[in-house]
Structure 1
């Protein structure tokens, strides 16, 4: 299917955002606690935390992950990005419906 990779990537982004939301609510919070709260395997939590850290949104501390001060600006950027993606998806849907 043409959209298989897009769907898979969207599911991964959703998981990253679930981890981010939980970090925001429970910070500082570690991998084991996140895994328990989200009922998600530790290796997936660890990967999401790594992606969020590399994106400059969170920072690891000795007590667990926390949102960086600059992380809130990055979250606002993501909100803008998702609007652009939504607009593109509307264009894709319109084009698909014309086929």
Structure 2
């Protein structure tokens, strides 16, 4: 692969990353899951302006991207927890730099 082809491939990957994290609510959902696994209702409480329908849609997208893992706990009552995958944690760590920037400049 030529250097130009490598640059183009990198640009495509960066563009795909921005398509994911720039969707409304994606970054804040990732931020919310950085500390520990959470149930759907806990995520919803943490982001009150986010509708349940949109949260459900975004969680499915994050799962499809391999950033979030959905874990069904079969104890009574049955519940579902969401956690970041290794890939999601690495992205979350990168987004912490944006958080620091926002705290300083916004």
Aligned equivalent of 1:71? 88
Unaligned runs of 5+ in 1: 1-8, 80-99
Q: TM-score, normalised by structure 2?
A: 0.52
Q: Report the CA distance shift for 1:70/1:11 in structure 2 as closer, same or farther (over 3 A).
A: closer
Q: Which runs of 4+ in 1 moved over 3 A?
A: 9-12
Q: Report the CA distance shift for 1:47/1:12 in structure 2 as closer, same or farther (over 3 A).
A: farther
Q: Distance in 1 between matches of 2:53 and 2:81?
A: 16
Tell me by how many angstroms 1:46 deviates.
1.0
Q: Report the CA distance shift for 1:70/1:38 in structure 2 as closer, same or farther (over 3 A).
A: same
Higher strand share: 2
Q: Distance in 2 between matches of 1:20 and 1:55?
A: 12
Higher helix share: 1
Q: TM-score, normalised by structure 1?
A: 0.55
What SS class does the counterpart of residue 86 from structure 2 fall into? coil
